Structure 1
């Protein structure tokens, strides 16, 4: 329960500010998280751990360390945590967003790069994207109009 909050820890976690299980570091970030993270980096080190909600997050705040993490140790750090809801709905099995880096991920990534995100394909779908964007804006305007009518009718009832 007090995984990072206590002195005894099962795994070696990077240093970071202390936290309570219910009130984690998420509330400490405030409206200017970049400033708080810069101050914390001076106290704890260029690599520190924060408990953000239910996820323990490693924050890297130096250029040299970020280069090592993102380039040299990429395979160690590249896989993201898959939320239980995603696993329960089985989205993590074949969705490019949720599967871990593997040969399947590389194949799907290549297929998307060639068939979906190439310049020719994007140019060919420009009109369709424009039409869908206009539909989205119209639907949003309609929904806002309906909500305002509901608010006015509720105010008039009082």
Structure 2
């Protein structure tokens, strides 16, 4: 057999050997993935979402009892670290606070909370520190909270009278929600907005709360976030934002024009408008910043799940306060 007839098989074999050596070398040089905390096995695409069931707090508790107080989950396409003990939460929130101080950029937060510039979802940085300082020293100081004690007492009296005057069954959930919104409106905006029937503000806040707590593809499956557009969720969020923004714009205009019912005391809008003129602030406040801070005043205080983000990882922090493992099973 002539040498020329062996050239092609020989070349193919040599090429295969060289490619094999190259692949082995590349695999050796590839950096090893970081060691992750223990966690339950994952399914393709959905990750561990199927294990949260209808009661995520119970599911997280049960998984933490099995895998430990520092647990790794995959929620859709999002790598997630679950912290479920006081000591571990303290280590993250205090010892490693700089690394875990930021929040995730959520789809609904970007659409409804002025690109996450409110106090709850603003990323850690100079702006968040300025807003936090304003909230602690001006809006939520002890003196400011005590100044609205008469408003709270009056609204509680209205709530009690509403219960006393009712002759049939009472929807306490609806009644308490209306009471909370009335207090918020009087403290933040200087007046109630329920004259003559159900409050339009209540409808707006309820819609926003539903959207903030609802499911959207973009937060868990970034590669298919366009499904939120197809499902109509983006359109619904845009419509809700436009209505809330229009309402807050009217509130600012009323206070600037002196037509708001302040009842001889300054509400939170008055305080923010005065701070907007303060040249000593670290960062200037735009009207959108004021609206973002005002939207934070109506967020539910019962939210017990805090969201944080470090670089490309989302951290869901759930602190279980020395709860008996059987106390939630009912």
Give the greater-gyration-radius structure (CA). Answer: 2
Distance between the aligned counterparts of 1:12 and 1:57, measured in 2?
14
Any unmatched runs of 5+ in structure 1? Answer: 1-7, 144-158
Question: Does the C-alpha gap of structure 1 residues 117 and 63 become closer, same or farther in structure 2, counting only changes over 3 Å?
Answer: closer
Q: Structure 1 62/95 Cα, relative in aligned 2: closer, same or farther at 3 Å?
A: closer
Note the C-alpha offset of 1:49. 1.4
TM-score normalised according to structure 2 size: 0.33
1:105 alignment counterpart: 128
How much has 1:76 moved relative to structure 2? 1.2
Select the residue among 34, 39, 48 that pairs with 1:25.
Answer: 48
Any unmatched runs of 5+ in structure 2? 1-30, 152-182, 204-330
- RMSD, matched Cα: 3.5
Alpha-carbon separation, structure 2, partners of 1:85 and 1:139: 23
Q: Identify which of structures 1 and 2 has the higher relative contact order when contacts are C-alpha pairs closer than 8 Å and 6+ apart.
A: 2
In 1, are the aligned partners of 2:70 and 2:81 still within 8 Å (CA)?
A: yes
* Corresponding residue of 1:14: 37
Does 2:115 match 1:91? yes
SS at the partner of 1:79?
coil
Give yes or no for the alignment of 1:37 onto 2:92: no
Q: What is the count of residue pairs matched by the alignment?
A: 132
Corresponding residue SS for 1:132: coil
Q: Is the 8 A contact 1:50 1:56 kept in 2?
A: yes
Q: Is this contact kept in 2: 1:15–1:48, CA < 8 A?
A: yes
Q: After superposition, where does 1:1-158 map in structure 2 within 5 Å?
A: 10-83=33-106, 91-92=115-116, 94-124=117-147, 126=151, 128-129=186-187, 131-132=191-192, 134=194, 138-139=198-199
- Is the partner of 2:192 in helix, strand or coil? helix
